[in-house]
Chain A
Amino acid sequence: MISDRIRSNLWQTFRKSLLPKLGLVLLASIVFMAVFAPVLATHNPTRTGYYDEQGAEYPPLGYEYTTSVADDGDIADVTVEPTTEHVLGTNNVGQDVYSRFLYGARVSLLVGLLGTALAVVIGVPIGLVAGYYGGRVDDGLMRIADTMLAFPALVLALALIGVFGESPIYVPDPIVAVGLVDGMPDRIPIPGTVTIVAGLVTWVWFARVARGEALSIRSEEYVKAARSFGTSDRAILLKHVLPNSLTPIIVLATIQVAVIILLEASLAYLGFSGTTLSWGYEIERGQDVLRTRPWVAMVPGIGIVLAVISVNLLGDWLRDALDPNIEGEGR
């Protein structure tokens, strides 16, 4: 499946350019952050009420600000200084921004990976079957795909969440479960509907790519030979068509992880994610205090940008090295 030619292509492209290296380092750091969030976090990300004596939020290091605080019925202006206790400050409900930043990475990456996996599982079989059989099956399936594309992904996602609710799934945190750290949440919420919806609104791109591949592979000599030996369609699809169409699917999957991370952030920003431990939700919260405490919205946004850039850099690398024909990117 992974031939020497592909391997050497990948390595050559990787060696030549700085960008894939940057992407890999970035992504590795974000994955590390996400996995070891409970260890790296300095505070419980869900605990509220980390305020200074006057009841104002802490700013990030190197940032000093003046705010009005109600003191015995009077409103007094106080200057709040940063503290090393909260390196990125606290947000408008007094939660530690740095710890929430780490936990936000978990939600983004998990939704990105699971959503993409779901899209692959739905889209690839449909596309392969449509392309391989052609004719009416192909027409029918591709019309369904066109219909899906006529929906802006975000609008469809919103409609589906409106129907099925947000239903966050609580998963025990493995690091807390084995007793490595104390005082961190023992369960982490995964936005269930958002993950499923992400798969449901992006499978079309996989179906299109898989169909295109199957369409060209089915007229290859080796497929004709296999068919003349009496190999069943099912076996041909699994043993010949699928392995030979994997390259563009892998490239697309990488790009889609970035797309889904952005989709999750948008949904969380609009308040439809079902979890508050998400970068997008944090930005929504920071919007209310943008003028006085801009770091609340700024920090999680930087997280999203870095995560998406790292995935896109790897996607570009794979695309340059493997050179598949993929039209469109989808978001």
Chain B
Amino acid sequence: MSMAKFLVRRLLQGIVVIWGVVTIMFGLRAVAPGDPANLMLAEGATQELVEQVRREEGLDEPVYVQYLDYVRELVTGDFGYSWQSNREVEAMVIERIPATIELTIAATIVALVIAIPLGVISATRRNEPADYGATMFSLLGISTPNFWLGLMLILVFGVWFGIPYPTFGLSWVSLASISVPFPSVGFYDFPTGRRPVGFGEAVRTLVRYGSVYDLLVWLKHIALPALTLGTYFTALITRLTRSGMVDELGKPYVTASQAKGLPSVLVRYKHVLRNTMIPVITVLGLQMGTLMGGAVITETVFNWPGLGLRLIDALGTRDWPLMQGIVVFIAIAFVTINIAVDAVYNYLDPRVSEQ
């Protein structure tokens, strides 16, 4: 099967998966207790008003009609309006995407930069102190709940080391009271009172004014959240790299290339590491759901203004259109990433698409 055919098939499968997610979300909403009209209106709304809202929203239609309407709207790109703020769900989702993407990419970079060298060192120096250290570290990493890790990082860096610029925060609501230990991370930079900008804006400042100020502010705000979210993946990739390298190093081609006199650095990093990366990439793709779930928690701990925080808000207020919009978006992102992973996989190991 050619690469194109392979990708088209995966794309079709992906569409089925997204349809499944949409259907499950609709089903959950249909069986959820409580009349949506009541959730949308202020308390004490008249019966007439409730009836009117029900009619306008199509809530008096049979469920299957509502479902077909809902799917049709989604296909045309209409995610509806938030029940709480009455804003377009699409806009509410889109404005939060960059922060989440920045966080997940930063976490992935943290993970790869630490984990791959650690895994390689661990595999090439088996049963030496470095190996034991790496093994213990990865065991701790996969066993620590990331919200707790985030809090402990805040405790260590913010409270004990008392880093002069408060880098991280707990809650944006409590910012109003001065007694709060930490100012909010996502929304304000404490000493300057400036709104920290996203990565794109920071780069623009650098290019336009030659100032690295915004970039530094961005970096110090993302450092701890990225570390918090990245730790589990660092641990996971370290383990995978280690076990994969150990397997690969025992294969005949390694012995053969060493016998031929190839420098062991070349063998290790060009051939062995490349073959090791195949399972690592697969698992990374499979774990994207974990990464996004982890982002929800991390964003809550650090008050990072991303999609996860908005999802928690939507759940708290039972804002179904917003909740559905976010979950459907996450599913689309997940499917897209997995297809991309498959494509990379295919490139690294062309045998895959022939199966």
Interface, chain A (partner B; CB < 8 A):
143-144, 146-147, 149-155, 158-160, 162-163, 165, 258, 262, 265-266, 269-270, 272, 280, 283, 286-288, 290-292, 294, 297-298, 301, 304-305, 308-309, 312-313, 327-331
| Given A149-B286, A151-B21, also A283-B159 (CB < 8 A) | no
Contact B232 A269 (CB under 8 A): no
Kindly report which residue of chain A lies nearest to residue B331, judged by CB atoms: A150
Contact A152 B145 (CB under 8 A): no
Q: Flag whether B229 is at the interface (Cβ < 8 A).
A: no
Q: Flag whether B347 is at the interface (Cβ < 8 A).
A: no
Collect the chain B residues with CB atoms within 8 Å of residue A159's CB: 25, 28, 315, 323, 327
| Given A270-B312, A290-B159, A327-B282, also A154-B17 (CB < 8 A) | no
Q: Flag whether B335 is at the interface (Cβ < 8 A).
A: yes
**How many angstroms from the CA of A272 to the CA of B144 in the assembled complex?**
20
Kindly report which residue of chain A lies nearest to residue B149, judged by CB atoms: A301
A interface SS class: helix
1/0 contact trace for B166-183 toward A, CB 8 Å?
A: 000010000000000110
Contact A152 B330 (CB under 8 A): yes
> Smallest distance from the beta carbon of B39 to chain A beta carbons, Å?
12
Contact B315 A163 (CB under 8 A): no
Contact B139 A328 (CB under 8 A): no
Collect the chain B residues with CB atoms within 8 Å of residue A262's CB: 145
| Given A151-B289, A154-B296, also A287-B170 (CB < 8 A) | yes
1/0 contact trace for B2-34 toward A, CB 8 Å?
A: 000000000001001110110011001101110
Collect the chain B residues with CB atoms within 8 Å of residue A283's CB: 145, 147-148, 151
Residues in B41-92 with C-beta less than 8 Å from chain A: none
Contact A150 B16 (CB under 8 A): no
Contact B283 A313 (CB under 8 A): no
**How many angstroms from the CA of A288 to the CA of B16 in the assembled complex?**
44
12 contacts between A and B (CB under 8 A): A150-B334, A159-B28, A159-B327, A163-B31, A265-B147, A290-B155, A290-B159, A297-B155, A304-B145, A308-B142, A312-B139, A327-B286
Q: Which of A150, A151, A265 is most buried by chain B, counting CB atoms within 10 A of its CB?
A: A150
Contact B145 A155 (CB under 8 A): no
**Which residue of B151, B236, B283, B318 contacts A297 across the interface (Cβ within 8 Å)?**
B151
| Given A158-B311, A162-B32, A305-B140, also A144-B20 (CB < 8 A) | yes
Q: Flag whether B350 is at the interface (Cβ < 8 A).
A: no
| Given A266-B147, A327-B286, also A155-B20 (CB < 8 A) | no
| Given A143-B17, A152-B293, A155-B292, also A298-B32 (CB < 8 A) | no
B interface SS class: helix
Contact B286 A163 (CB under 8 A): no
Collect the chain A residues with CB atoms within 8 Å of residue B334's CB: 149-150, 152
> Smallest distance from the beta carbon of A100 to chain B beta carbons, Å?
16
Across chains A and B, which 4 residue pairs bring their CB atoms closest together, nearest first? A147-B20, A154-B293, A152-B293, A291-B181
Collect the chain B residues with CB atoms within 8 Å of residue A162's CB: 28, 32, 315, 318, 323
Collect the chain A residues with CB atoms within 8 Å of residue B331's CB: 150-151
Contact A305 B143 (CB under 8 A): yes
Collect the chain B residues with CB atoms within 8 Å of residue A258's CB: 143
1/0 contact trace for B281-320 toward A, CB 8 Å?
A: 0110011011011101100110000000001100100100
> Smallest distance from the beta carbon of A148 to chain B beta carbons, Å?
8
**How many angstroms from the CA of A152 to the CA of B334 in the assembled complex?**
9
Kindly report which residue of chain A lies nearest to residue B170, judged by CB atoms: A287
Contact B145 A301 (CB under 8 A): yes
Collect the chain A residues with CB atoms within 8 Å of residue B139's CB: 309, 312-313
Contact B17 A331 (CB under 8 A): no
**How many angstroms from the CA of A258 to the CA of B312 in the assembled complex?**
24
What 18 new A-B contacts, CB under 8 Å, besides A151-B330, A290-B170? A143-B16, A146-B17, A151-B24, A154-B293, A155-B292, A155-B296, A155-B330, A160-B28, A162-B28, A163-B32, A265-B145, A280-B147, A288-B170, A290-B151, A304-B145, A308-B143, A329-B283, A331-B287
**How many angstroms from the CA of A228 to the CA of B145 in the assembled complex?**
52
**How many angstroms from the CA of A144 to the CA of B23 in the assembled complex?**
12
**How many angstroms from the CA of A283 to the CA of B335 in the assembled complex?**
34
Contact B152 A301 (CB under 8 A): yes
Collect the chain B residues with CB atoms within 8 Å of residue A286's CB: 151
Q: Flag whether B154 is at the interface (Cβ < 8 A).
A: yes
Residues in B118-146 with C-beta less than 8 Å from chain A: 139-140, 142-145
1/0 contact trace for B239-280 toward A, CB 8 Å?
A: 000000000000000000000000000000000000000010
**How many angstroms from the CA of A331 to the CA of B182 in the assembled complex?**
30
Collect the chain B residues with CB atoms within 8 Å of residue A158's CB: 296, 311-312, 315
> Smallest distance from the beta carbon of B102 to chain A beta carbons, Å?
18
Contact A152 B18 (CB under 8 A): no
Collect the chain B residues with CB atoms within 8 Å of residue A292's CB: 181
> Smallest distance from the beta carbon of B319 to chain A beta carbons, Å?
10
Contact B293 A155 (CB under 8 A): yes
Kindly report which residue of chain A lies nearest to residue B28, judged by CB atoms: A163
Contact A153 B289 (CB under 8 A): yes
> Smallest distance from the beta carbon of A175 to chain B beta carbons, Å?
28
